[in-house]
């Protein structure tokens, strides 16, 4: 299973008035980490969109489990992997560590989509190519 690890330094603007990371920022971090995971698999997002003629991999479901807060000045490590493949969807599991302690987990469900012909706004799910799935069965490790 391919795992990507990315370090993120918590900045002042990431925090709420209580001095801890404002929870929507974690979802932004994980969106960037999903892109980094695909890049590690050899599919940087601009190339992914062009090569596979897709409209993207939008988020359709997300949930989080908050365990330990992070604050300004902390450096966290995000470990990301695809935990499950469906026909046109896939799940990404992000574990965020503060030093060696699991601080939170975020679970994403995303869909492989293309534009509906003749419609400039709507998309539809299409099967994820097997060659894309195969890229995530490689060795794990740090970036």
State the residue for tokens 């419609």. 119
| CA proximity to 90, closest of 120, 125, 115 | 125
Strands (E), the chain: 4-9, 59-66, 75-85, 89-98, 101-111, 113-115, 123-125
Active-site option among 14, 16, 74, 119: 16
Our answer to whether residue 14 is catalytic in this structure is: no
| CA proximity to 28, closest of 48, 49, 6 | 6
Please give the DSSP secondary-structure letter assigned to residue 138. Answer: S
Active-site residues, by number, are 16
């Amino acid at each position: 299973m391919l795992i990507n690890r990315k370090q993120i330094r918590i900045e002042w603007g990431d925090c709420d008035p209580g001095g801890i990371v404002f929870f929507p920022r974690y979802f932004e971090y994980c969106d960037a980490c999903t892109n980094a995971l695909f890049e590690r698999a050899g599919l940087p997002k601009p190339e992914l969109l062009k090569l596979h003629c897709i409209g993207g991999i939008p988020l359709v479901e997300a949930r989080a489990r908050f365990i330990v807060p992070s604050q300004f000045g902390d450096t966290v490590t995000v470990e990301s992997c695809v935990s499950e493949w469906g026909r046109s969807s896939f799940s990404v599991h992000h574990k965020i560590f503060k030093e060696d302690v699991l601080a939170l987990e975020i679970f994403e469900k995303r869909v492989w989509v293309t534009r509906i012909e003749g419609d400039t706004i709507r998309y539809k799910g299409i099967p994820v190519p097997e060659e894309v799935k195969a890229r995530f069965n490689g060795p794990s490790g740090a970036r």
